[in-house]
Amino acid sequence: MPKKLSTIFVCNNCGYESSKWLGKCPACSQWNTFFEEKQVNVNTAKIRQNIKNEVVQLNNVVKKETTRIKTGVEELDRVLGGGFVNGSLTLLGGEPGIGKSTLILQICNSIKIEGKIFYVSGEESAEQIKLRADRLEINNEKILFLSETNIDIVQNSIEKYNPQFLIIDSIQTMYSEEITSAPGSVSQVREITARIMQICKQNGITTIIIGHVTKDGSIAGPRVLEHMVDTVLYLEGERYFTYRILRGVKNRFGSTNEIGMFEMEGKGLVEIKNPSKILISERNGNPSGSIITVSLEGTRPLLVELQALTTLSIFGMPRRNSIGIDYNRLTLLMAVLEKKANLQMGNQDVYLNVVGGIKVNEPALDLAIILAVASSYKNTSIKEDVVAIGEVGLTGEVRSINLIDKRIKEAERLRI
């Protein structure tokens, strides 16, 4: 009897599978992200038969020397732990328009390799990329460009030109004819990634896959392929601010607690070597509601300015609004302030903002949040040279935090 071809519904955001359509994904809580897919039965037993790996004593395994390729962009090299590992597969995710293609094109110019660089774009034509390259003053004879979306053609070209460095921009535009669903769907994205991984690992090509992240989940997010690649980087930032943060989320060859900071300018992304100085540079005097704190991004201390505003609420329900800081944290701290410091927050709207459009999420910022709100409420400024760091517990106590020396040093360095 022929096997019935079954269909399943897959969440485009996280890859959760269900036998029926669902409005909201139970795994990632996104709405309207389920699309129908044909189920492909892969005979894993057969694959396993072909693998002939033997049991070895771990102590006796000879390590292969990992060589790294320096990108020439210091901020990126630090996030990667010293550059791309030769032959590794990296995923660079971020919202559309955040600057992923720009960053990668800049790397193409500064990267220190002997072989060819192969840039495959399914989004832009050669002329468009050339225009951008001219704007970024990129002049590297080693860059080869292909505007193509069919993975078979891409694979043939890669095998023909045998590059050392490969860029796929973006994974959601590529498609394989073997799969019926549209480009950008979970099964296409998975299949293409598996194909690229095979090409990359077989030929020892260092590869970067660019992947878009969308909030509505209309295209498969990079989350569904995070487990397949060696390194995952995300480029973040608010669209209307020029700062961009590059974060390592997964790294098989190093730590994930480093960040890189960039600023989007007319000539592409410029590295910010001293982010603390820039983030607090626009502080004007010391108005009420403003305070400086030190957040730790990875191992890097970052001075940020918090601003709070409290106003009398005109509705029965007071509003709480936070940008750059977890909303739940703010409401929790407001409750502590009300009960433990006897400030009447129940009839106050509270707004909180992290200057510069960056996101900081650390309990070490609690004390600064509380002080900023209290300062605005009492309309009293906090002295300009005060830096507040500390976690605040539910009973109102201030707790110690990690790496305090490092934070103090950074504050001293900028003479706050």
Q: How is residue 9 written in tokens?
A: 């519904």
Label residue 316 exposed, middle or buried (CB < 10 Å: 0-12, 13-18, 19+).
exposed
Give the binding range for ligand TYD (CB under 6 A) out of 97-105, 252-260, 366-374, 380-388: 97-105
Instruction: Work out how close the CB of 240 gets to ligand TYD at its nearest, in angstroms, rounded to a whole number.
Output: 11
Query: What is the rounded CA–CA span in Å between residue 252 and residue 110?
Result: 24
Q: Does 172 bind Mg ion (CB under 5 A)?
A: no
CB 351 within 8 A of CB 373: no
Question: Residue 135 binds what, of ligand TYD, Mg ion, none (CB under 5 to 8 Å, by partner type)?
Answer: ligand TYD
* Residues of this chain, 132-171, that bind ligand TYD according to CB under 6 A: 132, 135-136
Query: What is the rounded CA–CA span in Å between residue 158 and residue 192?
Result: 14
Degrees to nearest 5, angle at CA 262 with 256 and 265: 160
Q: Does 287 bind ligand TYD (CB under 6 A)?
A: no
Q: Does 130 bind ligand TYD (CB under 6 A)?
A: no
Identify the residue among 76, 79, 91, 98 touching ligand TYD (CB under 6 A). 98
Identify the residue among 101, 164, 173, 206 touching Mg ion (CB under 5 A). 101
Residue indicated by tokens 């906090």: 382
Identify the residue among 13, 30, 33, 101 touching ligand TYD (CB under 6 A). 101
Q: Does 122 bind ligand TYD (CB under 6 A)?
A: no
Give the CA-trace dihedral at 166, 170, 174, 180, to 10 degrees.
Answer: 140
Give the binding range for ligand TYD (CB under 6 A) out of 75-83, 263-271, 328-336, 407-415: 263-271
Instruction: Work out how close the CB of 358 gets to ligand TYD at its nearest, in angstroms, rounded to a whole number.
Output: 18
Give the H/E segment covering residue 306.
Answer: strand 300-312
Q: Does 2 bind ligand TYD (CB under 6 A)?
A: no
Identify the residue among 72, 81, 96, 298 touching ligand TYD (CB under 6 A). 96
Q: Does 270 bind ligand TYD (CB under 6 A)?
A: no
Query: What is the rounded CA–CA span in Å between residue 229 and residue 207?
Result: 10
Q: Does 100 bind ligand TYD (CB under 6 A)?
A: yes
Identify the residue among 12, 102, 231, 322 touching ligand TYD (CB under 6 A). 102
Q: Does 267 bind ligand TYD (CB under 6 A)?
A: yes
Decide whether 124 or 391 has the Cβ nearer to ligand TYD: 124
Instruction: Work out how close the CB of 174 gets to Mg ion at its nearest, in angstroms, rounded to a whole number.
Output: 13
Q: Which residues contact 263 (CB under 8 A, 6 or more apart)?
A: 242, 243, 244, 269, 270, 272, 278
Q: Which residues contact 324 (CB under 8 A, 6 or more apart)?
A: 352, 353, 354, 357, 358, 359, 360
Q: Does 330 bind ligand TYD (CB under 6 A)?
A: no
Q: Does 97 bind ligand TYD (CB under 6 A)?
A: yes
Q: How is residue 318 written in tokens?
A: 């007071």
Label residue 180 exposed, middle or buried (CB < 10 Å: 0-12, 13-18, 19+).
exposed
How distant is the alpha carbon of residue 357 from its chain centre?
15
Give the H/E segment covering residue 316.
Answer: none
Query: What is the rounded CA–CA span in Å between residue 256 and residue 250?
Result: 6
Identify the residue among 15, 94, 260, 356 touching ligand TYD (CB under 6 A). 94
Q: Does 102 bind Mg ion (CB under 5 A)?
A: no
Which residue has the CB atom at the shortest distance from Mg ion? 101
CB 169 within 8 A of CB 104: yes
Identify the residue among 83, 163, 268, 301 touching ligand TYD (CB under 6 A). 268
Q: How many residues bind ligand TYD (CB under 6 A)?
A: 15
Name residue 264's amino acid: M
Question: Residue 298 binds what, of ligand TYD, Mg ion, none (CB under 5 to 8 Å, by partner type)?
Answer: none
Question: Residue 115 binds what, of ligand TYD, Mg ion, none (CB under 5 to 8 Å, by partner type)?
Answer: none
How distant is the alpha carbon of residue 276 from its chain centre?
20
Give the binding range for ligand TYD (CB under 6 A) out of 130-138, 173-181, 343-351, 394-402: 130-138
Strand intervals (E) in 109-225? 117-121, 143-147, 165-169, 206-212
Residues that bind ligand TYD (CB under 6 A): 94, 96-102, 132, 135-136, 264, 266-268
